[in-house]
Amino acid sequence: MKKSRFTDSQIMAVLKRSDGGEGVPELCREIGISTATFYKWRSKFGGMDVSLMARMKELEDENRRLKKMYMDEKLKAEIVSEALAKK
């Protein structure tokens, strides 16, 4: 997964500046992001604070790890069932 150039606190600062009345196109130009990126951040992180954002990222990482573990175990089970079917 691609790592963001911006930290959680920087993203939150940008979202708070836009809530304060600053124009989105000017803000995006100043920060160096596209308006699509801004609106993606707002839909994903709007209404959160930095601690909630960090917790969400931890849960996403754990979910990714658990999915990988599940797929590994499922692959092992398929290999065993194929081996037993051949006998």
Q: Does the residue 68 lie in any domain?
A: yes
Helix (H, G, I), strand (E, B) or coil at 1: coil
pLDDT value of residue 5: 86
Same structural domain for residues 63 and 85? yes
pLDDT value of residue 49: 82
Range of the domain at 26: 7-48
Q: What is the DSSP letter of 5?
A: S
pLDDT value of residue 21: 86
**For 16-60, what is each residue's pLDDT tens digit?**
998 888 899 999 999 999 999 999 999 988 888 888 888 988 999
Q: Give every CB contact of residue 27 below 8 A, 6+ residues apart in sequence.
A: 14, 17, 18, 38
Domain count of the fold of the chain: 2
Residue 72 tokens read as 């590994």
pLDDT over 80 (residue 2): no
Q: What is the largest CA-CA distance in the chain?
A: 71
Helix (H, G, I), strand (E, B) or coil at 45: helix
